[in-house]
Structure formats: structure tokens, C-alpha cells
Chains A and B, each alone.
Chain A
Amino acid sequence: MKKVTGILGIALFLVFILTPAVNAAKLPKVIKIGGQGVTSGSKADYGHQMIMGAQMAVEEINNSGGILGSKVEMKFMDSELAAAVGTKNARYLVKDWGAHFLFGIDSSGVSMAMAPIMPELDRILIICHGSTHKLTEEAIFKKGLRNTFRISVSTYQDGILPAMIFKDRPEIKRVASLAAAYSYGYSAWEMFEKTLKKYRPDVEVVGKAEAPYGHMDFTPQLNALMAAKPDLILATPWGGEGLMMLRQAILLGLFEQPWFKVWFQCMGGSIDMAEGLTADVKGGKFHGKLWATARYLWNWPDTPRNKAFVAKFREKFGRFPNYSAANVHTAIFAFKKAVEQTKSLDTQKLIKALEGMKVQAPDGERWIRPEDHQACYTVPAGHYVYDRAVCPNAFLGNLVVIPWEKYYRNPPDYKLP
């Protein structure tokens, strides 16, 4: 019996004792980049958009000579929105597969779990979606875990931007929260409430509801809020759940009510939402009251660079690019730029190169703030419109553009603007 255990154990281990020793200092013939995102479940589209963005970036890089002559190879794994899976995959990608660079990550929770292990793995991670402000403000700035960067917006986009927009609308007096019942949802609401109250002490919070992760039926939450007759609801459940929530809100006649003026869907500008909402937007069910923002909008700004990116993406994949795709694309190019600048894969050198770097993204320039590694760039908010001439899906129109300097929190004290 122990015989079998021994043989089994040894045999299986021999399979694994092929760990390539990765020498990060010299530039190898193939540069490996490892990505993670959620590719299963109701949020699967975000991971798949990441894969598409990464594939496009890798193809573009390899077709134009690679990174300083080295070809790029990409591997993508499912993080399942779970911290334990994310960290295990990261270790596998770096220590076993030999990744020189990590990117991706959808969930705020997984982002927080990754930050502490990156120094141990001696690699750089660029987060492309997970938006918790605690990553940059606490993990990177305060705790000094400097191997992690974020190319995507922080929760300021979800919480502070809407406050800055609606503080100037006197008809918004009664606000309510439909929060995703985990830290992202709570943080977004807290920032919104505090910022709004600072400029508009007359605003009242009339309702607070929350929906646990994976919640299926929002009618109880919606009913609870409707009873309080708010002017504005700030909602954070996203992906498939968000879509369902909006459907149910339409069903309950929320958007028909004259007293209801604005539904702000924090990540509502993402492509899966746009595709899913098209029929209802076209049918006028939202009465122009559905507002949203995102981490990148394919239709803003209307520059040749952005248009070219969107056109190429559509040609390759047949869909519009989500912010996951655009951010991953940008992250990979940021890495490329850093390697070309330092002519090495040395982690500390790459960190120095990325700090303060101005990266070219499809929607313009993003500045990676050196203090907390947060990319600073503007994304507007708007409300959902439908215009077949512009796009087969619904999209955000009547965009309100507020420059990022006006709504980001800044180190070292991270005060509300």
C-alpha cells in the first residue's frame, strides 16, 4: 500500500519537475504574458473580451517585429472570480509556465489578493478591470506593494463621477442605493453619497438596498426602493445580474413613474449590457432615464485612433470592444513600451519605467500615476440611446465629459474632490 503511494507520488511528481528557470534579466526569444479573467458564469463575457483584446494586441505586436525582436506568447486562465484560484493561477503562470508579465483580473477581491504575492513572484501585474480603490490607495500606496499597476479606472468612476454630474441638477434631491453587496458596491455608494452631500447638503438618502453576489431576483430590492420614491438610484450589480435587474425594473414600471428621474448603472456602458438592453432602449422603455458609465466607451472620443481600434476589433471578432478588451490591449502595449525603454525584463527596472508613463490607449492618453500606479484618464457618462445609423446596439449618448482631474482622489490624503 505504501508501495503504491510511493510510486504514485514519485511518478506524478516527475511530471512536474520540468520547471523552467526563468532568467528575467536577459531578453529571451519568446516573451510570455499570462492573463486571467472570468470566463465562466454570468460574467463570462468580460473574460472573453479580455482574451479578444489580448489576442489582437499580441497579433499586432508580433506582426510588427515583436518586443525588441522577441515574439510574444499569451496564455489565459479562468480566475473564476475567486481569490484562491487567482493566486494559484498566478503562481502557475509565473513559476511553472514562465510568464514574464501578468495582466487582467476582473474582480476587486482577486485584485486585492494578487497584490501581496506579486513581489514574491517578482513580476509585474497590470489590473485591467477590478476597480477597488483600496488596491491603489492602500495596497500599493500605503503598504508599498509596488509590483501591481492598474490600467483601468478606480471606483472614483462609479461613485464620484455621478455625484459630480448630478450635483448640478437641482431636480435630484432624493437618492437611493441598490448596491452589489460586497466591497465594490459599498465603496461606490459611499463615495457617491459623501461627494454629493458635500456639494448638495439638501440631498436626502431615502433608500438603501443591497443584493448579494449572484442574486437572482431583484423585485424585493426594487420594491423597497420604489416605496421611497427616489429621484435617482445608483446601482452597482453588473453583468448578467445588472441586466436582469434593469429588466425587472422596467417590469415594475419604475421608469414610467414621473417622480423617477435617473437610474445610474455604474458599469452599464459595457458591451454585454448594451447588447442586452438594445431591444428595450429601442422600444423607449427607459424614457431616457437610464444613465451609465464604464471603463472605456467605444464611441468616445471620436478620434481616428479610437475609430481604427473599434473597426479592427469588429472586423476580427464581429463585436464591439468592451472596456475589458480595450484595457487589456492598452496594458500589453504599456508592458511593451516599458521593456523597450529599459531593454530588459528586470522587474524593478520595469516598475520604474511604468511609473509616470504616458500610455497610448485607443481612447487617448493615460497617465500612470507614480505614487499609486493608478492610470488616470477620462471616461464620460451618458444615457442610453438607440440609433441604427450609428450602431446596431444601443449605446451611451448625450455624453457628459468631466475631466478626470475633477473627480479622481489624489495621494497622499485621497480627499474627496
Chain B
Amino acid sequence: MSNFIFQALNGLSSAMFLWLVAAGLTVAFGVCGILNVAHGSLYMMGAYFAFTSFQILGLNFWLSLVFALIGAGIIGFLMERFFLRRIYDQPIEFQLILTFAFILVFDNLTKMIWGTMLIIPTMPSLFQGTIPIVGRPFPIYNLFIVFAGIAVGLIIWVILNKTWWGMKLRAAASQREMANAIGINIPTLFTAAFVFAALLAAIGGALSTPIRVCDSGVGGAVIIQAFVVTVIGGLGSLKGAFVGALIIGVIGALCTLYVPFIELFVLYLIMAVVLIIRPQGLFGGER
């Protein structure tokens, strides 16, 4: 039984990374209508920037997170303002191809800039060590991740529901024309929303560096998991992304314990079943 609890807790911390990437993906889709296949690459850029500032420049951990946010935010801004904006009126296929091309570009640029360096982070001393949970050592950092993920969730909730900007965002997401009609500057809002999404992905990436290998292929690997999560939770729903991430993270970890060889199949099966029975996901509205 303690095995189960422990593994589930593991799954919870994996889920937080999924949640952060999926949250950004779903915001970009819900507000701007963009399905950004390169979203995983923004996660990756966050990781690389954090690594560079923490490991190479020697900044402290929290500052490196900020650095990652700034870096990814700029990239997100450039992506939206100069590239994605031009294809809002195009069918979704063009978006998917354009953003897929971005995956190729980011992957290659990362290789060129950071070279064949193995991104081997060290744990910030603040988080080293473990805490006994159900009698077994659980890494403190993983626990931190769980709290960080929840904290980010709360921050997002506050922003969306309690701030003026958040209200504009929600208005634009549900009724674009009306929002435009009452004077909300849609293009600027879209850019801001996309940058916000990029920041979420970047935080996920930055937080992952102490415990996960970072390489130039991470962008492509992460996006597929984010798709599974957002589909299950419902494209456009943040609550859905959170719940979806929990489901996938925990089920994935439990599969590792009990039925390791069919883990991947199970995850995609869940995705397919959700799409067949309830395509809008657990929390998505009609779209």
C-alpha cells in the first residue's frame, strides 16, 4: 500500500511539469485559437536559459528562474508578433505546420548554441536531501515541485479571475468579436496571452533542470505529452489541464510500478477514448 502512495506522489510531481506545459498550451489555444506545436520548445528554452544562468553564470536558483522567464518571454513575443499573427486567418493546418517548423528551428539552434554539452545540472543546496514519507525517502525537490505547481495554478487563477487584464483575456477567449467591439485591443491581448503561455512553459522547463536531462530533442517529446493532457482535460480549459495532468502523471507512474511495458499504450488509449466519448474533454466547452 505504501508503494502505491509513494508512487502516486511521484506521479504527482511528474504531473506538475505536464500541468505547466499543458496550461500554456491551453491558454494559447483558448484565447488566441493557436495550437502551438512548438510549445514544448518553449519549455525547452526555459530549461536551457535556466541552466545557463544557474550553472554557467552562477546566478542563484531563483534568479535563474527569472532569467528563464525573460528569455522565453522574449522568444514567445517574437514568435507571436512576427509569425503567428500572420496566419490567424489561415486554416489550422498552416498553424500546425508553421509551429512544427519552429520545433525544427529551435531544436537546431539549441544544438548550435549549447553544442554537445551535456546539460547536467546540480541540485541547488536548498533542496538537496529527502524527507521520509510513508517511511521512505522522498526527494525534497520533488515535493517542492508539487507545491510550485499548485502555487502557479493559484497565481493563474488569481490573474484570470481577479485582475482587469484577466477579465479581458477571458472575454476575448469566449467572445472575440464582442470583446473587440467594446474596445479591447485584440492583437495586443493575443500577444500578451501568448507570452503568458510561453512563461508557463518556461517555468516548467526551468524547474525541471535539477532533475531531468535537457537535450535539444526535449521540445518534441514534451509536446506530445502536453497534447494528451490537454485533450483529456479539454482544450482551452485550465482546470482541465490540471486534472488531465494529474491523471496522466499519476497513471503513468502507477503503470511504471505495476505494468511497465504498456505504459505508453495506455496513455494514448485514454486519449483516444476521451476523444471518442467526449471530445471536448472533461472540462472543455463546445468549440
- Per DSSP, chain A at the interface is helix
CB of A39 within 8 A of chain B? yes
Contact B116 A48, beta carbon cutoff 8 Å: yes
Contact B118 A219, beta carbon cutoff 8 Å: no
Q: Complex formed: what's the CA distance from A41 to B257 in Å?
A: 28
Contact check: which of A41, A226, A247 meets B215 at CB < 8 Å?
A: A41
Q: Which residue of A lies closest to B130 (CB)?
A: A253
Tally of chain A residues near chain B (CB < 8 A)? 35
Chain B contacts of A39 at CB under 8 A? 116
Chain A contacts of B116 at CB under 8 A? 39, 44-45, 48
Q: Complex formed: what's the CA distance from A217 to B253 in Å?
A: 10
CB of A23 within 8 A of chain B? no
Q: Complex formed: what's the CA distance from A327 to B11 in Å?
A: 41
Chain A contacts of B208 at CB under 8 A? 216
Q: Which residue of B lies closest to A219 (CB)?
A: B10
Chain B contacts of A224 at CB under 8 A? 3, 7, 256-257
Q: Given A219-B142, A248-B211, A243 and B136 touching (CB < 8 A)?
A: no
Q: Complex formed: what's the CA distance from A275 to B118 in Å?
A: 10
Q: Given A219-B10, A221-B256, A240-B213, A227 and B118 touching (CB < 8 A)?
A: no
Q: Complex formed: what's the CA distance from A276 to B128 in Å?
A: 18
User: Which of A147-155, A206-214, A292-300 forms part of the interface with chain B?
Assistant: A206-214
CB of A342 within 8 A of chain B? no
Q: Complex formed: what's the CA distance from A243 to B121 in Å?
A: 10
Tally of chain B residues near chain A (CB < 8 A)? 38
CB of A279 within 8 A of chain B? yes
Q: Complex formed: what's the CA distance from A68 to B271 in Å?
A: 62
Contact check: which of A42, A214, A223, A251 meets B10 at CB < 8 Å?
A: A223
Listed residue (B13, B118, B253) with the most chain A CB atoms within 10 angstroms of its CB: B118
Q: Complex formed: what's the CA distance from A220 to B9 in Å?
A: 9
Chain A contacts of B48 at CB under 8 A? none
Contact B118 A247, beta carbon cutoff 8 Å: no
Contact A220 B257, beta carbon cutoff 8 Å: yes
Chain B contacts of A208 at CB under 8 A? 260
Please report which residues of chain A, range 35-56, place their CB below 8 angstroms from some CB of chain B when the two chains form the complex. Answer: 39-42, 44-45, 48
Q: Given A223-B7, A227-B136, A251-B123, A40 and B213 touching (CB < 8 A)?
A: no
B128 to chain A, nearest CB (A): 8
Q: Complex formed: what's the CA distance from A294 to B1 in Å?
A: 39
Contact B130 A252, beta carbon cutoff 8 Å: yes
Chain B contacts of A272 at CB under 8 A? 118
Chain B contacts of A216 at CB under 8 A? 208, 212-213, 218, 221
CB of B6 within 8 A of chain A? yes
Contact B213 A220, beta carbon cutoff 8 Å: no
Q: Which residue of B lies closest to A253 (CB)?
A: B137
A253 to chain B, nearest CB (A): 4
User: B: which residues have CB within 8 A of A?
Assistant: 3, 6-7, 10-11, 13-14, 111, 116, 118-120, 122-123, 128, 130, 136-137, 139, 141-142, 208, 211-213, 215-218, 221, 252-253, 256-257, 260-261, 263-264
- 9 A–B contacts from the bound complex (CB under 8 Å): A40-B216, A42-B118, A45-B116, A220-B257, A223-B7, A240-B120, A240-B215, A241-B213, A248-B139
User: A: which residues have CB within 8 A of B?
Assistant: 39-42, 44-45, 48, 181, 208-210, 212, 214, 216-217, 219-221, 223-224, 226-227, 240-241, 243-244, 247-248, 251-253, 272, 275-276, 279
